[in-house]
Amino acid sequence: MLKIEELREIIELIDESSIDEFSYEIEGAKIKLKKQSETREVVQVQKAVEPVGQGQIDIPNPQATENIATQNNDPKDQPEPVSDSHNTIDFDYEIVSPMVGTLYSAPSPGKDPFVIKGSSVTKDSVVCIVEAMKLFNEIEAEVSGEIVEVLVEDGELVEYGQPLFRVKTK
């Protein structure tokens, strides 16, 4: 069962990411988070009917729908699109995130990163760690080659399928 702190952490992770919709179900409780526009986010929490005598869930008012206003996004504050005409990096393979979570480029704070631009990797080389729900998952290169571009920074929130590294295979 989800506790309020865990629910808040999920909401913060989704809010900081570019994910528009997220659904999760655990032990009969369903959570659906959806960003509807640039200025609003809707959080829906539902609880399945539990038989008498079963455990309780730590989510108040299970049928509640709550609108949370986020800061107003001014078009002049938005970054301008970057043209790909200047970006001619030669690569054969992109290492992508297999999950939503926080990326760590080193095994622990203060240590050297697993890989940097120019690093050689093999199929089983660990290139980073993605933390999801307090679990640390080592991400392997899955190909042999050279890292030609690092697309994320240490501590950055990453999404499922988001490119992390570009590799020129051997």
Q: Per the domain annotation, does 123 fall within a domain? A: yes
Let me know whether 112 and 143 are in one domain: yes
Q: What is the mean pLDDT of the chain?
A: 75
Let me know whether 101 and 53 are in one domain: no
Let me know whether 46 and 97 are in one domain: no
Confidence (pTM): 0.49
- Write out the residue range of the structural domain in which residue 12 sits: 4-73
Q: Are 32 and 23 in contact (CB under 8 A)?
A: yes
Residue 139 amino acid letter:
I
Let me know whether 95 and 132 are in one domain: yes
142 Cβ contact partners less than 8 Å away, ≥ 6 residues apart: 93, 95, 123
Q: Are 97 and 162 in contact (CB under 8 A)?
A: yes
Given 73, 104, 121, the domain boundary residue is 73
Let me know whether 95 and 68 are in one domain: no
Nearest one of 143, 155, 41, 69 to 108, comparing CA atoms: 155
Tens-binned pLDDT, residue by residue, of the chain (170 aa): 667 777 778 777 877 777 777 777 777 667 777 765 444 444 444 444 444 444 444 444 444 444 444 444 554 444 444 444 445 678 889 999 999 999 999 999 889 999 999 999 999 999 999 999 889 999 999 999 999 999 999 999 999 999 999 999 98
Let me know whether 60 and 127 are in one domain: no
Pairing of strands 135-140, 126-132: antiparallel
